[in-house]
Amino acid sequence: MSKPIVGIIMGSQSDLPVMRKAADFLSEMKVPFEITIVSAHRTPERMMAYASSARSRGLKVIVAGAGGAAHLPGMIASMTSLPVIGVPIKSSNSIDGWDSILSILQMPGGVPVATVALDGSKNAGILAAQIIGTMDKTLAKRLDKYKESMKESVLATASELEGLGLPKP
């Protein structure tokens, strides 16, 4: 397998059901990635080592997901100039998910984290692939095909619905 160019990290194994959707999308697009657990609060030294070695290890984008007091994406972004995509997760310690959304979204000036929707890890995978796709024509073509397939699927559903003969307003 080729060297990973996207790093997917999450605060806990309990985040995996959400975060694996980013991994699944990158697999579908044939983007080499690595995936692991890095906790801002439980393994702070590992978090620092991960962020500070990311570029020299060949990563181009980092996708970081966490729930509750979600400091992982922001802390990673504070230690690398690679783009960081944050995934807020509705976890067992979330109040309602806003805690995680706001922790990831409301970064101070100068340290951006591209924040996707609550549990929106598929979009994080798509965005990571799109960033890589700015410099990779083959991948850009795969992404265009993906968009086309979404359009076709919506149009097919729409014509099915129109064919049901439901009363019109």
Q: Which residues of the chain form contacts with ligand RP5 (CB under 6 A)? A: 10-12, 14-15, 39, 66-68, 89, 91-93
Compute the least distance from the CB of residue 10 to ligand RP5, in Å. 6
Question: Of 69 and 140, which has the nearer Cβ to ligand RP5?
Answer: 69
Compute the least distance from the CB of residue 4 to ligand RP5, in Å. 21
Question: Of 11 and 74, which has the nearer Cβ to ligand RP5?
Answer: 11
Compute the least distance from the CB of residue 43 to ligand RP5, in Å. 10
Question: Of 2 and 92, which has the nearer Cβ to ligand RP5?
Answer: 92
Question: Of 100 and 126, which has the nearer Cβ to ligand RP5?
Answer: 100
Question: Of 90 and 142, which has the nearer Cβ to ligand RP5?
Answer: 90
Separation of alpha carbons 59 and 69, rounded Å: 26
| Residue closest to ligand RP5 (Cβ) | 11
Separation of alpha carbons 79 and 164, rounded Å: 55
Separation of alpha carbons 152 and 145, rounded Å: 10
Three-class SS state of 114: strand
103 is written with which tokens?
A: 């922790």
Separation of alpha carbons 114 and 69, rounded Å: 17
Contacts of 21 (CB under 8 A, 6+ apart): 121, 122, 125
Compute the least distance from the CB of residue 91 to ligand RP5, in Å. 3
Compute the least distance from the CB of residue 72 to ligand RP5, in Å. 7
Contact 23, 33 (CB under 8 A): yes
Q: Are strands 33-37 and 61-67 parallel, antiparallel or unpaired?
A: unpaired
